[in-house]
Amino acid sequence: MSIAATFANALSGLAASGRAAQVVSSNIANAMTPGYARRELELTSVSLGGTGTGVAVVGVNRVVNRAVLTELRLADAARGGADCRAEALKRIEDLFGLPGEAGSLADSLTAFESALAVAASRPDSAARLDAAAGAAAALAQKLNAIGDGIQAIRAEADAAIAAAVGQLNADLAAIGRLNADILAYRTLGRDVTALCDQRQALVDRVATQVALREIPRPDDQIALVSEGGAILLDPTPAVIGFTRTPTITADMTIGSGALSGLTIDGAPATAGARDLLGGGTLAAWLDLRDRIATTAQADADAFARDLIGRFTGPAVDPTLAPGDPGLFTDAGAAFLPADEAGLAGRIALNALADPAQGGASWRLRDGLMAASPGAPGEARQILAWAAALDSPGTVQSGRAAGQSLDAAALAAETLSAVSAARTAAEGEAARAAGRAEGLRSLHLRDGVDSDAELQALILVEQAWAANARVLETMDGLLRRLMEI
C-alpha cells in the first residue's frame, strides 16, 4: 500500500466518522420530535484501479417502514372518524337524558304525568292546575331544547367541515411545495431528509382527515390518493371545495340542496355510493351533520308528533272541534304532518291553558275551548289528559313507526335507539384506537433508540481515533524518513 493511499484511506475514514457523528447527534437531538425519522448513514468503499482508496458517504437515509406507516395512517383516520361519531352521539344522548336523570325527557314526562294525577285529586286547586300547566310547558321546553341542541350540533359539524377543508387545502398545497423543494435540493446534491420529515408530518395530518395512501415517485417525490380513489396530489394538489352554512334548521338537508357537500376540483366528491373522501374525520363530520343528527332529530320530532296527537281532537277534549289545536301545538298552530321536520323545536303548550302566556290553567279541568270555568270539583277532563298519556297508540314516524306504544314507552324507545347508537359508536372507537395504538408501537420500533445511538456513537469515536492514529503513525514515518 502506498503512502498516498494510506493517507487517502485515513482521511476518508475521518470524514465518514465525522458525518456519522453528525447523523447520530441529529438522531439523539430529535428523539422526541414527532414525525422525525431515524437517519442511517450509507457508506461505500472507494477503489482506484482496483486499489482501495478509502470510504465514501453515499448519503443519509431515513428509516421508515412504509407498509406500517400506511396502515397506521389508515388506522388513525378510522380512529378519528370513530371518535368524532362517538362524541357526537354522547352529546345527543345527553340532550335526551337518561331515565331517572333530573331534567331528562323521561323525567319531564313523568313530572307531567304526576302533576296531572295531583291536579285530578284536587281539581278545585288553582295551584295544582298551575303546576300541571307548568309541567306540560316544561315537557314542551325539554323537546325544544333537544331540537335546538341537535341543530346546534349540526351547525358545529358544518363549521368543523369548513375548517377541516381549509386546513386540508393548505396542507396539500404545502406538501406540493415541499415536493418541489425536495426535487430542487436533490438536483443540487443537498440533504433533503429534514424536508422529507416536514412532508411526512403534513401527510400524517392530512391522513387523519381523509383516509389515503402515499405513492412513491422518482427523486423522493410522492403522490397522495384517497382510499376512495380521488387523486389528492400528483404532482399538483387538488382543491377541495365546501361552502359553510352559518344557520342550519331541521328542514335543511344536503339532499334538498340547502347544505353544501364536498367537491374535488369542482366535481362532487362522490362516485355513486362511494365516498371519495371517506374514512377520516372529514367524512365523520359530514355523517354527523347529514345522518346521525338528522336521525336523532327525526326521533325527537316523532315523539313531539305523538305527544301532540294524544292531546288533540274531540275524543280527548269535547270542547275541541276537528282541526283545532290541542293541548300541545306546533308553535301555537295545529300540527300538519307535512311540517314534521323540526317539530321538537317548535312544540309548545297551548296558550289558552298556559298562565305564562296569558291563558288560564282551569282549562285543563274544563276543556281548552270552554267559555268559562266549570264545576271546580270536576276532574273528568284532567283524567282524560292522563289517560291519553297512558293509552297505547300507533307511532306515526321515526324509528318506532308502526309500533303501538304509550307515551312513556315511546320515550324509552327513543332514548334506547340513541343509546344503542352511542354504545355501538364507542365500541367502534375503542377497536379503532386499539388497532391504531398497536400499529403505532410497530412504527415506533423504527424510531430513535437513544441507547442504540449512544452505542453507535462509541463506534464512531473508536473509528475516528483509529483513523487519527493511522495519520499520526504515517506522519511519524514521514518525519523519520526526512531525518535520514
Structural domain includes residue 429 = yes
- Does one domain contain both 40 and 136? no
**Cβ 464 vs Cβ 3: under 8 Å:** no
* Nine cell digits for residue 479: 518525519
Q: Check residue 46 and give its pLDDT.
A: 83
* Nine cell digits for residue 390: 297512558
Structural domain includes residue 147 = yes
- How much is the average pLDDT of 314-333? 95
Q: Check residue 316 and give its pLDDT.
A: 96
Q: Check residue 360 and give its pLDDT.
A: 94
- Does one domain contain both 21 and 156? no
- Does one domain contain both 125 and 55? no
Q: Check residue 271 and give its pLDDT.
A: 61
- Does one domain contain both 425 and 465? no
Distance between CA 446 and CA 31 in Å, rounded?
12
Query: Residue 13 pLDDT > 90, yes or no?
Result: no
- How much is the average pLDDT of 21-36? 88
Distance between CA 448 and CA 36 in Å, rounded?
9
Q: Which residues of 82-108 are buried (b: 16+ CB within 10 A; e: fewer)?
A: bbbbbbbbebbbebbbebeeeebbbbb
Q: Check residue 50 and give its pLDDT.
A: 66
Q: Check residue 336 and give its pLDDT.
A: 94
Structural domain includes residue 440 = no
Query: Residue 433 pLDDT > 90, yes or no?
Result: yes
- Does one domain contain both 31 and 108? no
- Does one domain contain both 31 and 103? no
Structural domain includes residue 102 = yes
**Percent of the chain whose predicted confidence (pLDDT) is above 90:** 73
- How much is the average pLDDT of 302-322? 95
Q: Check residue 467 and give its pLDDT.
A: 86
216 versus 59: the higher-pLDDT residue is: 216
Query: Residue 101 pLDDT > 60, yes or no?
Result: yes
Lowest mean pLDDT among 47-51, 381-385, 425-429: 47-51
Distance between CA 347 and CA 449 in Å, rounded?
63
Q: How confident is the model at residue 42 (pLDDT cuts 50, 70, 90)?
A: confident
Please give the residue range of the domain that contains residue 89.
Answer: 70-435
Structural domain includes residue 443 = no
**Distance (Å) of CA 406 to CA 339, 365, 388:** 23, 22, 8
* pTM for the whole structure: 0.88
Lowest mean pLDDT among 170-179, 187-196, 322-331, 466-475: 466-475
Q: How confident is the model at residue 204 (pLDDT cuts 50, 70, 90)?
A: very high
CA dihedral sign, ordered 359, 364, 368, 373: negative
- Does one domain contain both 132 and 80? yes
Lowest mean pLDDT among 81-95, 119-133, 448-462: 448-462
Structural domain includes residue 237 = yes
Q: Check residue 43 and give its pLDDT.
A: 85
- Does one domain contain both 47 and 95? no
- Does one domain contain both 98 and 132? yes
- Does one domain contain both 22 and 123? no
In the chain, the number of structural domains is 2
Lowest mean pLDDT among 254-258, 269-273, 471-475: 269-273
Dump pLDDT digits (tens) for 143-156.
Answer: 999 999 999 999 99
- Does one domain contain both 205 and 268? yes
- How much is the average pLDDT of 426-449? 93
* Nine cell digits for residue 233: 396530489
Distance between CA 362 and CA 359 in Å, rounded?
9
Structural domain includes residue 140 = yes
Q: Check residue 273 and give its pLDDT.
A: 56
Q: Check residue 94 and give its pLDDT.
A: 96
Distance between CA 349 and CA 135 in Å, rounded?
10
Q: Check residue 132 and give its pLDDT.
A: 96
Query: Residue 333 pLDDT > 60, yes or no?
Result: yes
Q: Check residue 7 and give its pLDDT.
A: 81
- Does one domain contain both 357 and 315? yes
Q: Mean pLDDT, the chain, as a whole number?
A: 92
Q: Check residue 3 and give its pLDDT.
A: 79
Structural domain includes residue 441 = no
Lowest mean pLDDT among 86-90, 92-96, 334-338, 444-448: 444-448
**Percent of the chain whose predicted confidence (pLDDT) is above 70:** 98
Q: Check residue 136 and give its pLDDT.
A: 97
